[in-house]
Structure 1
Amino acid sequence: MKAILKQIAWILTATAILYGAWLMLLLTIPYAAFERYTDFLLTKQRVYHILHWRISFYIHIFVSITVLLAGLLQFSKYLLDNFPRLHRNCGKVYALVVIFLSGPTGLIMGFYANGGIYARISFVLLSVLWIIFTILGWKRAMQGRWPEHITWMLRSYALTLSALSLRFYALILGWMHMPLRPVTAYITISWLSWTVNLLLAEWLIKRMLIKRMNLPA
């Protein structure tokens, strides 16, 4: 029964992430025109002329789907058991994109984030931790230290999902009509978007450690 519930939980989680990735794709398509006055870019007119910010922005949004999907596949036991080579290749794609594209571009964008210094600190810290966790996960895989590899990659993917949770919390705050100034609301969700994910990841890691030690949960 527990195995069935675990499988159902995986399917529901994967479905939610895939749906979020689909919505992200729909949001990304308009930017393919490279027009200055497109959606989110309307709030970035003061920095749009900065070349390294602009390059970072377009790279970051266009590779986001790749990271979400490649990372999700890493946690498929079916894929690991039946297609280990595909699992490894997806892992390489995920790690390389995060370490060399998504992470660095997110870091650059973080220094120019809306919401002032507190939001900037959040996004910069998010990007730095994202890169570090992914490097550690990759390194542990190269060393064959698989339990540690899993925990670091779980932390890394928790931060990857901040792209979805940021928009989720923005919707929640909008629906609740909370009396917050726009700047305060944005600062709040900038921190919630990844800290809550990371706490959930640590909870899952703790459960895995307890199970490994054969202790009662």
Structure 2
Amino acid sequence: HKHWRFFHIRCDLWAERSSTLSMNSALHKLSFGAIALFSLLIGLYPSTYFLVDRKFGLLSSKSDALLVDLFWNIGFYGHIMFGGLALLVGWAQFIKKIRNKRPVLHRNIGKVYVFSVLISSICGIYIAHYATGGLTASLGFILLGLVWFYTTLNAYLFARKGDIVRHEKLMIFSFAACFAAVTLRIWLPMLSSIMGGFVPAYRVVAWLCWVPNLLVAYIIVRNKQP
């Protein structure tokens, strides 16, 4: 009887563990699917700036003098175009089947992502000096650009050295920074309504769009199996 009881307990524990694992797997797939969907939608969003009036979206808060400034325009369009491209391809780097079965495709996606990020982050750091909301917003976006540049460049360098563990960890942080383009557009409408205006909300969102993302990335990296 003791043996049978022990057997039943083991079976119950195994069933409970299997149920937990399957639930975690389902949640993981759902989360990844949502990240991919939002990345694709927001990745295509910059194209709207070429289809509508110049005063569309975030440009509506910019002065006429700034909108005709050559260097600012190069920075702005360089930032949104290459940032959009980074979002469009970045999430695909984390698909295990591509990494394991099609390593050449994975490397090519990675090269496009890294090239796009380096251009977009440099442009982003430049135009952040002109951010709506003054110094508070500017500092938030400048630091975001620096973090994005640093994590991406070093992730690439570690891959070149063959240190795949550090490469993967830094790439998680890199895409968390990249995903700020999505979280910004989630937080901004909500906070604009709560705080009673675009400018005060934008000052907060300049930090809120990326700091929590990096905290989530830290948790993922910390819990990642070696």
Q: Secondary structure at the match of 2:138?
A: helix
In the other structure, the counterpart of 2:31 is 13
Distance 2:159 2:147 in 1: 18
Aligned AA for 1:194? Answer: W
Structure 2: segments with no counterpart, 5+ residues:
1-17
SS at structure 1 position matched to 2:75: helix
RMSD between superposed Cα atoms in Å: 2.0
Q: How many residue pairs get matched?
A: 207
Q: Which has the larger radius of gyration?
A: 2
> Kindly tell me: are residues 3 and 66 of structure 1, through their superposed partners in 2, closer, same or farther at Cα, counting changes over 3 Å?
farther
> Where does the alignment leave 5 or more consecutive residues of structure 1 unmatched?
213-217
1:207 lines up with 2:223 in the alignment: yes
- Equivalent-residue separation in structure 1 for 2:122 and 2:213 (angstroms): 20
In structure 2, relative to structure 1, the CA distance for the partners of 1:25 and 1:79 (3 Å cut) is: closer
The answer to whether the 8 Å contact 2:89/2:109 transfers is: yes
Alignment of 1:1-217 (within 5 A): 1=18, 4-24=22-42, 27-33=45-51, 35-45=53-63, 46-99=65-118, 101-174=119-192, 177-208=193-224, 211-212=225-226
Q: TM-score, normalised by structure 1?
A: 0.86
> Residues 183 and 209 of structure 2 are in contact (CA less than 8 Å); yes or no, is this contact kept in structure 1?
yes
For normalisation by structure 2, the TM-score amounts to 0.83
Q: 1:22 to 1:149 in 2, by over 3 A?
A: closer
- CA-to-aligned-CA distance 1:128-187 (integer Å, 9 cap, x gap): 11101111101110111111111111111100000000111113325xx42455432111
Contact 2:137–2:202 (CA<8 Å) still a contact in 1? yes
* 2:14 alignment counterpart: none
Matched AA of 1:64: G
3-state SS, counterpart of residue 118 of structure 1? helix
Deviations along 1:76-128, one digit per CA (max 9) or x if unpaired, are 111111111100111111111111x1111111111111111011000001101
Aligned residue identity for 2:99: L
Alpha-carbon separation, structure 2, partners of 1:14 and 1:103: 24
TM-aligned CA distance change 1:195 to 1:87, over 3 Å: same
Deviations 1:64-84 (Å, cap 9, x if unpaired)? 332013210111111111111
The whole-number CA distance in structure 2 between the counterparts of 1:129 and 1:22 is 22
Distance 1:136 1:5, change over 3 A: farther
> CA contact under 8 A between 2:180 and 2:213: conserved in structure 1?
yes
**Equivalence for 1:215:** none
Residues 4, 93 of structure 1: CA spacing in aligned structure 2 closer, same or farther, 3 A cutoff?
Answer: farther
